[in-house]
Amino acid sequence: MKMRKVGRTDLRLPALVLGAMARRQSSDKERIKLFEAAIDQGFNAIDTAPLYGFGRAEQQLGTVLKHVSRNQVQILTKVGLRWHGEKHGEVLFEFTDGNGRLRQVRKDSRPESVRLEVLQSLERLGVETLDLVQIHHPDLHTPFADTMGTLLDMRREGKLRHIGVSNFSAEQVRAAQIALGEVPLCSVQPDYSLVRRRAELELLPLCRELDIGVLVFSPLAEGLLAGKKLKVSNPAVQKIEMVIHEVLFPIAQDHGVSPAAVVLAWVIAQPGVTSAITGASTIEQLNQQTQATKLQLSKSEIQLLGTAFSEVQLPYSWEHREVGLRKIVRRGRAFLGRAARRIGIDPSKLRRRR
């Protein structure tokens, strides 16, 4: 794949970067085989994180790296999310582990935590240096200067080459660059696709202004734009599926490529976007996605896609969770009302806890 310069740094990445987060269960053998196939097809940059599989993704990738030249693959990973240790920082989400215990994933970018995470990633991956370390989510309880100071120290120690951020607002990106001083912030990682365009308002213009690389995640909107049926009850999805059939599919057919390839080609053609991080569960999906790097959409096709999907935007992942919580609350209240009526109590007399 053709390499692109990332911001003001000497890092060069392909237009498509393989994301190591698995969206479906698969064995270590299957994932390792997929990583090997991806590297063979030119995915010479892989984006991972300790959170993916709770260390498992980095271990799988580390197995593959034992058999390839280190300069053949750029390794991008992250810090700032912990699921064990002290209860510092905002809870991002909760999960139940294999022993049935409720666990919490927290935003933790304190210096001691960041240093430990980098060292653990180096060990799991079996490498001496990471090409890019990104703060996974902003930790508002830790000054950016403290976090960036630790990453700068580890950069001087040779443990990482470049520093980036993920899920940061435009204002937070400015603060991160100030904290780095003369060292350029290498990249920003936002959620961006045809159906999630909030980054166009402030973030992409800022990155163009400051010459910061943009590595977008979820360019296929969790697979929706590749034809996957989302398990989300939302009227927007039906409208999006209509545009997919009326606009996206015909363009893909005209070029003889998959819909995923057209979507990815649109994303990497956007001003300021360096690379699109795309996930895959099968080698067939990899084959379909790599078509994007050779696909030349016309200006009219790019404009048509952008305009058609601009009216059918999809809520972001945190908005899905908020909608889900509201549904749970409504259903709970309805259940209590029915139960009260069955035992002869007026539901309006029930006290609501504040």
Output the pLDDT for position 100: 84
**Residue 347 per-residue DSSP state:** G
Which of 68-77, 99-108, 147-156, 216-225 shows the lowest mean pLDDT across its residues? Answer: 99-108
Strand order in the sheet with 81-82: 81-82, 102-107, 91-96
Contact 27, 60 (CB under 8 A): no
Residue 311 token pair: 């009216």
Q: Does pLDDT of 326 surpass 80? A: no
Residues 335-349: tens digit of each pLDDT: 445 444 544 455 454
Tell which CATH classification among 3.40.50.2300, 3.30.1600.10, 3.20.20.100, 3.30.565.10 matches the domain 3-231+257-297. Answer: 3.20.20.100
One DSSP character per residue, 126-139 reads T-S-EEEEEESS--
Q: Does pLDDT of 354 surpass 50? A: no
Most confident of 35-44, 99-108, 138-147: 138-147
Q: Does pLDDT of 247 surpass 90? A: yes
How far, CA to CA in Å, does 26 sit from each of 32, 55, 221?
Answer: 10, 15, 21
Output the pLDDT for position 233: 61
User: Mean pLDDT across the chain, nearest whole number?
Assistant: 88
**Residue 191 per-residue DSSP state:** B
Q: What is the 3-state secondary structure (H, E, C) of 90-118?
A: CEEEEEECCCCCEEEEEECCCHHHHHHHH
Q: Does pLDDT of 216 surpass 80? A: yes
CB count in 10 Å sphere of residue 51:
19
CB count in 10 Å sphere of residue 56:
15
Sketch the domain layout of the chain as residue ranges.
3-231+257-297
Output the pLDDT for position 329: 37
Q: Does pLDDT of 230 surpass 70? A: no
Within the chain, where are the H helices? 28-40, 56-65, 111-125, 144-156, 170-180, 203-210, 235-243, 249-255, 259-268, 283-290, 299-310, 317-342
Place of tokens 């976007």: 273
Please tell me the number of Cα atoms within 13 Å of 98 on its side-chain side.
Answer: 2
Q: Which residues lie closer than 8 Å to 131 by C-beta, 6 or more apart?
A: 11, 45, 74, 75, 76, 160, 161, 162
Better pLDDT: 102 or 275: 275
Confidence of residue 48 (pLDDT cuts 50, 70, 90): very high
CB count in 10 Å sphere of residue 1:
18
Confidence of residue 232 (pLDDT cuts 50, 70, 90): low
Q: Which amino acid is it at 173?
A: V
Place of tokens 């309006």: 348
Q: Which residues lie closer than 8 Å to 211 by C-beta, 6 or more apart?
A: 7, 8, 184
Q: What is the mean pLDDT of residues 163-181?
A: 97
Q: What is the 3-state secondary structure (H, E, C) of 279-306?
A: CCCCHHHHHHHHHHHCCCCCHHHHHHHH
pTM attached to this predicted model: 0.86
Q: Does pLDDT of 49 surpass 90? A: yes
Q: What is the mean pLDDT of residues 10-19?
A: 96
Output the pLDDT for position 307: 96
Within 164-248, where are the H helices? 170-180, 203-210, 235-243
Which of 30-34, 208-212, 260-264 shows the lowest mean pLDDT across its residues? Answer: 30-34
